[in-house]
Amino acid sequence: MPSKRLLKWRATVTYLILLLFLSLILTLAIGPVYISPTEILEVFCWKIGILNSPPRKVYVNIILQLRLPRILFGFIIGASLSVSGMVMQALFRNPMASPYVIGVSSGSALGAAIAMNMLPSIIGIYTTPAVAFLTGLFTLILVYNLARVEGRLRTDTLLLAGIAVSYFFSAIISILVWIMAQERHQIVLWLMGGLWGADWIKIDVITPITFIGLAVTYMFAKDLNAMLLGEETAQSLGTNVELTKKTLLVTSALMISASVSFSGMIGFVGLVVPHVMRLLVGPDHRILIPSSALAGGIFLAWSDALARVLMEIPVGVVTAISGVPFFIYLLKRRRSVRSL
Amino acid sequence: MKKRYKEIALILILVGTFLPLLPSSAASSVTITDDVGRIVRIAKRPMRIVSLAPSITEILFALGLGDRVVGVTSYCNYPPEVLEREAEGKITVVGGFTNPSLEKIADLNPDLVFGHNLLPPEFIHNLERINITVVVISTANSIDGIFDDIRLIGEACWEEESASKLITDLQEKISNLETAVEGADKVEVAHICWMKPIFIAGAKTYVNDLIEKAGGINVFSNKTGWATISKEELVKADPAHIIVPYKHGVEMIYEELMKMKEEGLIHGQIHTMDPDIISRPGPRVVLALEKIINFLHPEVWSKMLAVTDLTVQSSVTVGESAVIFVEVKNTGELGGVKTASITIDGKILQKNVTLNAGESKLVVFTAEMKKPGVYTVSAGGKVATLKVNPVASALIVNASMVLSVISIIAIVILAVALIKRTSRTK
C-alpha cells in the first residue's frame, strides 16, 4: 500500500512539474505585446547559440529581460508564499492563517514605506527591498520574543502577537501614507504588490533563500503531520515540538520577508493555494509541501500573465478574482461528497 | 533621497562646466542632468518619444514635437491631436500614470522616454536595463518649475530653440495677465482638490503661484505642498473664493462644499474648473491663470480685450445717432462674455459681447449727438474724431429726402396711368 501511495505522489509531483514547464512556455507568449511562438523560439535559439542571426532586438529585450524574469519571479514567490502559508496553517492549526499573520510582512511594508520616504537610496534601487527585508527580520525577532513564555514558543500567543504587531505597523504605515503627499502613490502601489519589478539580480537573491527555505520545511514534513494532532500528541510521537516550531517560524519568516520585500503584499496565494492542494492531494505534508510550492508558483505566474495583459492591474486582484471561484467550487464539492 | 541627488547634481554641474574644455566634445550628442540627478546622454535627435505623464505630453505637443511622440499614458488627452493620433494608430497607450507596461514601452522601440518622479525607481531601472534612454521630469511645484521642465524637455529632444521660444511666449502672456490684475484688490482664495480628507494647495505648489499671480491670497499658504486640513480650519479661514476641480467622477468635492455653504459654514464663492487644466503643470498654465483671474476678478477679466479697429462715421447731424464700429479681439485663452467700451467726449458707453478665445467681433455702438462740434472717440488706445454738423445741413438732407419721396410717388402714378391706358386700347 505505501508503495502505491508513493507512486501516486510521484505522479502528482511529475504532473505538476510538467505543468510548470508548460506554464513557463505558455506564459512567455502572454503579454501586452504579441510575439509569435516562432519568434520566441528564435530568441532562445539565438541566446543558446543555435541561431546565428539575431532576432529583433526589441523582442530579445521583452522576452529575456522583462517577461522571463517576471515568470520565474512568479514561480519563486508563489512557491514561497504558498509554502509559508501552509506552514502557518499547520503550526497554528488554523485554516485562516496566511503568511501575513505573524506580522513579518507588515514589518517589511513599514520598512519599505520608510525607505521610500526618508532614506537616501544608499544602494540604488535595491534600498527599499533591503530595508524591507531587514525590518521584516526585526519584526520576526520582536514577535518571537513577545510570544516566548519561559523559553517556550506558544502558538496562541504567537498568533496574537503577530496580529497585534501587524495592526500596529499598519497604523504607522497609514500615518506615513497620510503625511506623505508625493510618495503616496508609490507606497500604495507597493502595498498592492506586483511582479513587474522583476530583474535578474532579484532572482539571484531570492532563489537561494526560497530553495533553502523549501528544503528546510520539507525536512520537517513528518513533524508537521504530527503537529496537526496537537502539540502534546506530537511530543509523545517523538517530535521535537519546540525545535520544529522555531525552525519553521524562522524559515517561513525569511521566505515571506524576501518575497514581500521584492514584490509587495501579494494576497490570497498564501491563504488559499495550500487549502486547494490539501483538498486535491490530501493533508500529508510530505506531498503537500512540494505540490503547494509548485502549484503556488504556477498560479502566481499565470495570474501575473493576466495582470500583464490587463493594463498592469495589481496581481493580488487577479489572484483573488481568479482563485476564489475555484476554491469555493472545491469547498462545495467536498461538502456534497461528505454529505453523501 | 533628494539630498543625495542634490550632491550628485552639484558634482555633475562642476564636471559639466569643465567638459566643454575638453577638445573632442563635439555636438554629436546631448548630455543632460534630469530632475533626479541622473546624467543622461542622448546620442541622436530623438524621433520616437514616449511620454509617461499628461503634462509632459502637453509640453511635447506645444513644442511641436507631436509627430515624434509614439507612446503616451491613458491619461494623456490633450491636445485633441493626441487622441486623433491614437485613433490613427500613430500613438500607443502604454498604460496608466504609475503602472505603465514595460513591455509595451519596449515594443515601441523608443529612443527617449520621459518618466516622472512618482514612478517607482525600479521602473526606471528596468527601462535602463533594456537600454532605453529615460529622462525623469519632476512634477513642477511652481510656475518657474514648468519653464524648467519645458527647457529640460526641449534640451533632451534637441529642440532647445523652440523650448526657449515657448517659454518666452508663456512668460509674456503670464506677465500681461499679471499686469492686468495689478490694481485689483487682493481676495482670499483656497484651492481644494479633494474632500474626505480635505486636500488643499499650500505654499510650494504651482497652484499657489497661480493664485498669487491672479491677484489672490492663498489662505492656506502657511501649509506646504498638497496638505490635508480639517473642516474646522476651512470654516475658520472661510475664503471668499474656493476653486475646486470638477468633472465626471469628482463631483463630490463641489457637492460637499455646496452642502457646507448651505449649512452656513462657509460663505465664499465656489468656482469649478477642469482638473486637467489646473492639475497639470504644463503649457496650459496661461489658461489656468486666466480662468482664475476670471473667477477672482471678473470685472478685470471682462475688460481684457484688444481693440483692433475703430471706425466712426465721418459726420452726422445734430439729433441723429452716430454709429461707431469697434472691432474687438479676445487675445486671451478663455472665451466668455466680455465688455467692450468706448469713450465719446468723456462719456463711457459699454456693450457686452460674447467672444471665444482668439475670436474677433464687430461691436456697433450708437450715440445720439445733441450738440454740434468735433468729438473725440476712443476705445482701447485707438482714437477717432466725429464731426457733428449743425441743423442747416440737416434741413438740406431732409429736403432732398422729401423731394425723392415725391418723385417716387409721381413715377408710380405715371406708371399706373400708362398701364391703364395700354390695357384700354386693347
| SS3 sequence of B240-281 | CEEEEECCCCCHHHHHHHHHHHHCCCCCCEEEEECHHHHCCC
CA atoms of B424 and B426, how far apart (whole Å): 5
- Which alpha helices (H) appear in chain A, and where do they start and end? 2-28, 37-48, 57-60, 68-92, 104-117, 127-147, 155-179, 184-192, 200-219, 221-227, 231-236, 241-263, 269-281, 285-309, 315-339
Question: Could you tell me which residue, B311 or B242, shows the higher pLDDT?
Answer: B242
> Considering chain A, what is the average pLDDT of its residues?
87
Instruction: Look at chain A and count its residues.
Output: 340
Report residue B349: phi and psi, to 5°: -110, 140
Amino acid B4: pLDDT: 62
Q: Kindly state whether residues B279 and B320 are assigned to the same domain.
A: no
Over its C-alpha atoms, chain B yields an Rg (Å, rounded) of: 31
Q: What is the pLDDT of residue B151?
A: 94
B171, B148 in Cβ contact below 8 A? no
| Out of A118-122, B160-164, B307-311, B376-380, least confident range | A118-122
Report the interhelical angle of A68-92 vs A285-309 (nearest 10°): 140
Torsion of CA B306, B309, B310, B313, to 10 degrees: -160
Would you say residue A325 has pLDDT above 90?
A: no
Chain B hits for A308, CB-CB cut-off 8 Å, are 101, 103
pLDDT > 70 in chain A, percent: 95
Tell me how close the Cα of B356 comes to any Cα of chain A, in angstroms: 37
Q: In this complex, do B103 and A62 lie within 8 Å of one another by their Cβ atoms?
A: yes
DSSP state of B100: B
Give me the residue from A61, A119, A185 closest to B98, CB to CB. A185
Do residue B198 and residue B107 come from a single domain? no
Partner A contacted by B145 (CB < 8 A): no
Residue B108 confidence (pLDDT): 93
Amino acid at B30: V
Lowest mean pLDDT among A283-287, B140-144, B283-287, B418-422: B418-422
- The answer on B191 and B155 residing in a single domain is no
**Range 109-168 of A in CB contact (< 8 A) with B:** 119-121, 124-125, 128
Query: Where in the sequence is the domain holding A6, given as residue range(s)?
Result: 2-339
How is B133-191 classified by DSSP, letter by letter? Answer: -EEEEPPPSSHHHHHHHHHHHHHHTT-HHHHHHHHHHHHHHHHHHHHHTTTSPPEEEEE
Q: Does B102 touch chain A (CB under 8 A)?
A: yes
Asked whether the beta carbons of residue A197 and residue B131 sit closer than 8 angstroms, the reply is: no
Nearest to A177 by CA among A163, A192, A165: A192
Nearest alpha carbon to residue A73 among A213, A197, A253, A169: A197
**Confidence grade of residue B48 (pLDDT, cut at 50, 70, 90):** very high
In chain A, % of residues over pLDDT 90: 34
Domain count, chain B: 3
What is the Cα Rg of chain A in Å? Answer: 21
Distance, CA of B173 to CA of B175 (rounded, Å): 6
- Give B387-409 pLDDT, tens digit per residue: 888 876 555 666 778 888 889 99
Question: How high is the pLDDT of residue B228?
Answer: 84
Residue B241 lies in a domain: yes
- The count of structural domains within chain A is 1
Based on the domain organization, do B133 and B215 belong to the same domain?
Answer: no
A33 contact residues in B (CB cutoff 8 A): 103-104, 106-107
- The chain B residue lying nearest A30, using CA atoms, is B103
At B313 the pLDDT is 80
Task: For residue range B230-279, list pLDDT tens digits in order.
Answer: 888 899 999 999 999 988 777 888 888 999 999 999 999 999 999 899 88
Asked whether the beta carbons of residue A125 and residue B100 sit closer than 8 angstroms, the reply is: no
Is the confidence at residue B1, as pLDDT, over 50? Answer: no
pLDDT at B24: 43
Q: Which residue in chain B has the smallest CA separation from A119?
A: B1
Is B101 a member of any domain?
yes
Which residue of B35, B107, B117 is the best one to mutate when testing the A interface, meaning the one whose CB has the most A CBs within 10 A?
B107
Q: Which three cell numbers stand for residue B372?
A: 454740434
Q: Which residues pair with residue B329 across a beta bridge?
A: B306, B360
Over residues A190-204, the pLDDT tens digits come to 888 889 888 898 999
Write b or e for each residue in B175-205: b if 16 or more Cβ atoms lie within 10 A of its Cβ, otherwise e.
eebeebbeebeebbbbbbbebeebbbbbbeb
Cβ pair B317, B347 in contact under 8 A: no
- Asked whether residue B405 is assigned to any structural domain, the reply reads no
Does residue B143 register a pLDDT over 60?
Answer: yes
Give the three-state DSSP class for B346.
Answer: coil
Cβ neighbours of residue A188 under 8 Å, at least 6 residues apart?
A177
Are A129 and A114 in contact by the 8 Å Cβ rule? The answer is no
According to DSSP, the residues that pair with B31 across neighbouring strands are: B41
ipTM, 2 decimals?
A: 0.80
Tell me if B21 is assigned to some domain.
yes
Is B15 a residue whose pLDDT tops 60? Answer: no
Q: Is B196 on the interface with A (CB under 8 A)?
A: no
| Residues A62, B139: C-beta atoms closer than 8 Å | no
Given B236, B264, B299, which residue is the final one in a domain? B299
* For range A76-90, the mean pLDDT: 94
User: CA-to-CA distance for A57 and A47, rounded, in angstroms?
Assistant: 12
Residue range B178-236, pLDDT digits in tens: 998 888 899 999 999 888 788 899 999 999 999 999 999 999 999 888 888 888 889 99
Minimal Cα–Cα distance from A80 to chain B, Å?
Answer: 22
Query: Looking at the structure, do residues B185 and B265 belong to the same domain, yes or no?
Result: yes
- Cα torsion B139, B141, B143, B148 to 10°: value is -50
A78 vs B98, residue with greater confidence: A78
Whether residue B192 sits in one domain with residue B217 = yes
Q: Please report residues of A whose CB lies closer than 8 A to that of B1.
A: 119-121
pLDDT of residue B351: 86
Whether B103 and A185 lie within 8 Å, measured CB to CB: no
In a domain, B280, yes or no: yes
- For residue A196, which residues of chain B lie inside 8 Å, CB to CB? 99, 102, 123, 126
Q: Are residues B93 and B127 in the same domain?
A: yes
CB count within 10 Å of CB B87 equals: 9
> Region B18-40: what's the mean pLDDT?
70
Q: Kindly state whether residue B414 falls inside one of the protein's structural domains.
A: no
**What CATH number has the domain bearing residue B291?**
3.40.50.1980
Binned at pLDDT 50, 70 and 90, residue A310 comes out as confident
Candidate from A61-65, B20-24, B84-88 with smallest mean pLDDT: B20-24
Q: Do A182 and B96 touch (CB under 8 A)?
A: no
CATH number at residue A154: 1.10.3470.10
Average pLDDT over residues A6-12: 89
The residue behind cell 532576432 is A55
* Cβ–Cβ contact A175 with B under 8 A: no
Query: b/e for A235-249, b at 16 or more Cβ within 10 A?
Result: eeeebebeebbebbb
Q: Does residue B29 sit in the same domain as residue B160?
A: yes
| B418 belongs to a structural domain | no
Contact (CB<8Å) A196/B107: no
Contact A40, A29 (CB under 8 A): yes
* B353: CATH: 2.60.40.10
Which among B299, B332, B365 is the end of a domain? Answer: B299
For A292-314, b where at least 16 C-beta lie within 10 A, e where not — what string? bbbbbbbbbbbbbbbbbbebbbb
A247 CA to centre of own chain: 18
Q: Which residues of A touch B95 (CB under 8 A)?
A: 311-312
With a cut of 90, say whether residue A43 has pLDDT above it.
no
Of A137-141, B125-129, B383-387, the least confident: B383-387
A255-267: average pLDDT? 89
Closest-CA distance, B128 to chain A, in angstroms, reads 11
Q: Which residue has the cell 506552514?
A: A87
pLDDT of residue A34: 87
**Which domain range does residue B327 map to?**
305-391
Q: Which of residues 61-100 of A touch B (CB under 8 A)?
A: 61-62, 65-67
Which of A14-23, A52-61, B128-137 shows the lowest mean pLDDT across its residues?
A52-61
Q: Supply the pLDDT for residue B36.
A: 85
Q: Which residues pair with B362 in a beta bridge?
A: B327
Question: Which cell numbers in the block locate residue B356?
Answer: 471665444
Contact B133, B111 (CB under 8 A): yes
Q: Any bridge partners for residue B226, and if so which?
A: B201
Based on the fold, state whether residues B168 and B193 are members of the same structural domain.
no
Q: Is B293 in the same domain as B221?
A: yes
Query: Chain A partners of B125 at a C-beta cutoff of 8 Å?
Result: 124-125, 199
**CB proximity B1 to A under 8 Å:** yes
In this predicted structure, what is the pLDDT of residue A335?
60
Q: Is the pLDDT of residue B25 over 50?
A: no
**Does residue B421 belong to any structural domain of this protein?**
no
Cross-chain residue pair A199–B129, CB shorter than 8 Å: yes
Q: What is the pLDDT of residues B343-359, one digit of tens each?
A: 887 888 888 888 888 88
Residue B125 touches partner A, C-beta closer than 8 Å: yes
What residue of A is the nearest CA neighbor of B107?
A: A58
Which residue in the block uniquely carries the three cell numbers 402714378?
A: B413
Question: Does A208 contact chain B (CB < 8 Å)?
Answer: no
Q: Which residues of B touch A125 (CB under 8 A)?
A: 121-122, 124-125
B189 with B263, same domain?
Answer: yes
Beta bridge partner(s), residue B33: B39
- Residues B7 and B156 placed together within one structural domain of the fold: yes
**Cis previous bond, B197, omega within 30:** yes
Q: Is residue A311 left, alpha or beta, with left meaning phi > 0 and alpha meaning psi from -120 to 50? A: left
Contacts of B275 (CB under 8 A, 6+ apart): B193, B245, B246, B247, B250
